[in-house]
Amino acid sequence: MWLSQARRTLLHRIRRPRRSHSNQPPLTLALRPPLTQGRRVVSTLFSMPERRPFVRLPTDVYPVNYGLRLKPDLIDFTFEGKLEAAVEVTQGTNQIVMNCADIDIITASFVPEGGEEINATGFNYQNEDEKVTLCFPSTLQKGSGSLKIDFVGELNDKMKGFYRSKYMTPSGEIRYAAVTQFEATDARRAFPCWDEPAIKATFDITLIVPKDRISLSNMNVVDRKPYPEDHSLVEVTFATTPIMSTYLVAFVIGEYDFVESQSSDGVTVRVYTPVGKAEQGRFALEVATKTLPFYKDYFRVPYPLPKIDLIAIADFAAGAMENWGLVTYRETALLIDPKNSCASSRQWVALVVGHELAHQWFGNLVTMEWWTHLWLNEGFASWIEYLCVDHCFPEYDIWTQFVSADYTRALDLDALDNSHPIEVDVGHPSEVDEIFDAISYSKGASVIRMLHNYIGDEDFRMGMNAYLLKFQHKNASTEDLWECLEQASGKPIAAVMNSWTKQMGFPIIVVDQEQVHGSDRVLKISQKKFCASGPRNGTYENCPNWMVPISICTSEDPSCTKMKVLLDQPETTVNITNVAPDHWIKINPGTVGFYRIQYSSAMLESLLPGIRDLTLLPVDRLGLQNDLFSLARAGMISTVEVLKVMEAFVNEPNYTVWSDLSCNLGVLSSLLSHTDFHEDIQEFIRDLFTPIGMKLGWDSKTGEGHLDALLRGLVLGKLGKAGHKATLEEARRRFKEHVEGKQILPADLRSPVYLTVLKHGDSTTLDTMLKLHKQADMQEEKNRIERVLGAIPAPDLIQRVLNFALSEEVRPQDTVSVIGGVAGSSKQGRKAAWKFVKDNWEELHNRYQGGFLISRLIKLTVDGFAIDKMAAEVKSFFESHHAPAAERTVQQCCENILLNATWLKRDADDIHQYLLQRKAPPV
């Protein structure tokens, strides 16, 4: 499943150097002594609540095949169901315990093979645990039998289970589709079942639907005939599925167009779109038909089903879901309009398609044994989606983007006291949604990338193939994967990887050097846990240790690893021969190892010129800056020193490096919105981004590609938001022409232009933008507008935007990004958004039913506060308004607020002085 991370939005800020770079003084960076005295350890403020008791389903009866007939009513939003399951009774029992939620069972009976039917005498629902116990008057004997259940349920509006999704026909009529989302634990809302990933069975599905609707399921249609009781309906029967887990079952009933192709290995691929938009499915179809053979070749295992459908669903909580053979997507994660889609949307679709199709093998063919191993599915798919996109679109330079989008994001979250290990014990269903987060996805992907680098591609692929063949159609645990990779590579995979998946956090690698014997360099390398709140007191003995694969390169060849060591102790010494005294040494080339680095002052100073003269690779320029920013936040160096380093990026040509700089400056700008010198950091941003903005200009030039389009949108958005006068004037001019229909804005310029005019706009601007939203035929354009509406500055207009977020105009899943956009735009917006969330908590919590969207909403709304008392307020609110699926998120947010407050108190004056001194005329 792809969670729709509010794609590190390309909306940030900008600046110009005071002198030409040629005569700028050399960069120096002073390290602070460790701050250990009086440091607040935030974890003590927020203890995890007691875990709810939970017992997995008994194993005395298990399913072999589900015969399932469903008849949804698209007018009354109910459905009738008949289940006839072939089951095995492994020991005599007079009850069957299954999962069941929001379903009413009408009748149930059991027919032993060759025996008489036994009617159930009672149904005992345990609503808290989402279970039902079917009670029988006599013992069901060991052996095969058939369980028959008639039931009814509701097509809910919660985007989970079997639910309804609203859409508009081309003629403007409102209609509903019936669709499914079962991961993690919601198949039980569609039919009584054994809803645990390890309890696999085959499925025979029949849908009774209106004859003018398309109906889809995991497998191909084998029969379609009129329904005898109602001639307006048809009975559609699908082929038997392979043995699979319940969370991967899917069905969709609605009105769709499609485009179709065949992959080179003979699999029928279809992309289903809203009616009239079939052409918008072409790009995803092209990606999917390239991707299936790529994975077949990579895994050396063919795709096991005869067809695969990819379908755009109007109301959809996640980004996409990997149901076997019928992958469901948000419209914005699947549909691309050649004229109206921007470069970032194309890239997004390519990544999400790559992610979900990887799951067809890794997750569907071989499934995790329990949700504790969710990361196996998601971490792996989040890594290999990049491998796939790199194969399909090498011009995207996607692996550099991985470092900014996934790797640094995971480091930020995992440095908190309220993070969690990759492998986390999960019991009650309410706990499962919580682990669909950046640890399972992004840290999971990052440690697999590190592992792949450590093993080498050939051995990695050999191990993957052995794993898939050994466990196909079965379930596996993390240890099973390590064993296969260990046998293929001959390396101590389990020992190395357990230190990364079973314990929380990651190390900071501290490095110092000494030149000896003329051309030898001795490195002293040590590790300790990196904490967002700074170094802790404590000896090496009681600190966690990691087995850290460390690569080392030199300025002689920055792209080639000169030495590799496995650091399995608190510290070690490494001798590197033939390094000239004037050559620099870089740890972690390619920024592959999952750790931060703290160089000695001398080592760091020797590396910094490599930023300006671009001798450091883009991914290493990015990693160096990101590490320094993180060290500044943790109080280990001064933020002013990092601002000085940022000024060295004035010649930077790389999109991803600018994107990461932009994110960090966005964090700093948000922090300084709590001061009275917020305008000074805007000037810094304007100065830094102006040269690259001038160089790029507004219009694309011949020969430019994907990354140029991304960079132009990023830079103009940053300059416009920071109030760069020329950018603002040009944005307003182009916006006016766009609205008047004289010159339609290219898709890549819409986000930065919309953001800029709103940030410096009034009620007329907002009215115009809401009108554009209403007129937009494409969900991508609606989302583009929704994400930037919060930039409007006036308090009464901010309130209008918040009210709009809950209106019928905004799809339920997109409300979160509208509110998040308000909170992320200004100090005023943050306060207003938090008040709005509190005032409308009941409606919002009910809307998302405790799924991961509620966690996203909380994080986007409160993470930017920087006042101690706000942490207490947030904590207090959620103590009286329980959100079980977001408990850890609340703790992480409170911790972040306290970290922000500490950072502000510690560095605000120094930053202010530095920004003032930059403006002072030279003496």
Binding positions for Zn(2+) = 355, 359, 378
DSSP state of 796: H
Helix axes 868-880, 852-862, angle to 10 degrees: 150
Which one, of 396, 259, 267, lies nearest residue 336 by Cα?
259
516 three-state secondary structure: strand
Contact 316, 813 (CB under 8 A): yes
SS (H, E, C) 202-268: EEEEEEEEECCCEEEECCCEEEEEECCCCCCEEEEEECCCCCECHHHCCEEEECCEEEEEECCCCCE
Backbone φ and ψ for 237, nearest 5 degrees, come out as: -110, 135
Whole-angstrom distance, CA of residue 430 vs CA of residue 428: 5
Amino acid code (one letter) for 441: Y
Answer whether 40's CB lies under 8 Å from 712's CB: no
Angle at the Cα of 462 (from 457 to 467), degrees rounded to 5? 125
Residues forming a β-bridge with 366: 362, 474
Quote the tokens at residue 345.
Answer: 């949307």
Q: Where are the alpha helices (DSSP H) in 722-760?
A: 725-740, 747-759
Among 467, 463, 477, 444, smallest CA distance to 368 is for: 477
What's the token pair of residue 418?
């309220």
Between CA 80 and CA 652 the distance in angstroms is 61
DSSP assigned state of 63: E
What is the C-alpha separation between 862 and 871, in angstroms, rounded? 9
CA–CA dist 885, 13 (Å, integer)? 34
Q: What is the largest CA-CA distance in the chain?
A: 101
* Angstrom distance (rounded) from CA 93 to CA 134: 11
Length of the chain: 923
Is 356 catalytic? The answer is yes
Contacts of 75 (CB under 8 A, 6+ apart): none
Task: Give the Å distances, CA to CA, from 834 to 755, 822, 874, 890.
Answer: 22, 10, 9, 13
- Beta strand 78-89 with 143-154 is antiparallel
Pairing mode, if any, of strands 507-516 and 596-599? parallel
**For residues 593 and 665, what is the distance between their CA atoms, to the nearest angstrom?**
24
Alpha-helical runs (H) found in 472-492: 478-489
Q: Which of 322, 356, 431, 483 is catalytic?
A: 356
Annotated binding-site residues read: 355, 359, 378
User: Do the Cβ atoms of 423 and 679 come closer than 8 Å?
Assistant: no
* 120 Cβ neighbours under 8 A, 6+ residues apart: 107, 108, 109, 110, 134, 135, 136
Looking at residue 67, what DSSP letter applies?
E
Which pair of tokens denotes residue 112?
């032993």
Rg (CA), the chain: 28
d(CA 794, CA 810): 21
Positive/negative CA dihedral, 608, 613, 616, 622: positive
Hey, what are 685's tokens?
Answer: 């941003």
The residue whose two tokens read 């110009």 is: 16
CA dihedral 171, 172, 178, 183 (to 10 degrees): 120
Q: Environment class of residue 7 by beta-carbon count within 10 Å: exposed (0-12), middle (13-18) or buried (19+)?
A: middle
Q: Residue 55, Cβ neighbours under 10 Å: how many?
A: 10
Q: Which residues are catalytic?
A: 356
